[in-house]
Amino acid sequence: MADQPLIGVLALQGDVREHAAALESGGARTTAVRRPAELDAVDGLVIPGGESTTMSRLLETFELLEPLRARLAGGMPAYGSCAGMILLADKVLDGRPDQRQLGGIDMVVRRNAFGRQVDSFETDLDLAGVDGGPAHAVFIRAPWVEAVGPAVEVLAAVPDTEAAGAAAGRIVAVRQGAVLATAFHPELTGDSRVHRLFVDVVLGRA
């Protein structure tokens, strides 16, 4: 792995190119992951946004569901944004009966929380572990975290302001060991600090 880890981006749905560009700016090599052999080759994996139920079906279609669960259980670093956060949760509220979870973070996530209550939403967030001031966060039909277990570190919550409405105070970024998740899309803002943090996690520096 040396100082330039190979990080995969799950390439079934979502902003694959944007995540790859952000990871590369953070010092990683990247590759698209669609098959188990490609998953076997990576040091870490990004699970992008999309539609979580469709993504879980595609994971089964591409025979990635069980291999990915196994790699997560074995300690592979992972980062999920939006739908990726939903898939990494141990429990989902408002999910569909056929939705499959990868697990990896001891949290309860409410699916489409922003989409149903406050639609697309943008705000500035203070992110624990990320230097350089607040990050601008873009939420698109996003989840939020209803509850976390004792091993989960809360990295960010929506500021408790009148403008935030129902989203005020909701947890939107978490970490458990080498697994990170955000309800927002940092790959869309040109701010690669979340991805740099994940590269450091993969390298064992964070």
Catalytic residue set: 82, 185, 187
What is the SS3 assignment for 81? strand
Q: How far is the CA of 118 from the CAs of 82, 129, 161, 163, 165, in angstroms? A: 15, 27, 14, 10, 8
What is the SS3 assignment for 37? helix
Question: Tokens in use for 134?
Answer: 């607040």
Element (H, E) at 38: helix 36-40
Question: Tokens in use for 125?
Answer: 């967030």
d(C-alpha 100, C-alpha 65), whole Å: 8
The two beta strands, 6-10 and 29-33, are: parallel
- For tokens 């999309």, what's the residue? 50
Question: Tokens in use for 2?
Answer: 């040396």
> Could you tell me how far CA 194 lies from the centroid of its own chain?
10
DSSP annotation of 70 reads: H
Question: Tokens in use for 17?
Answer: 């190119």
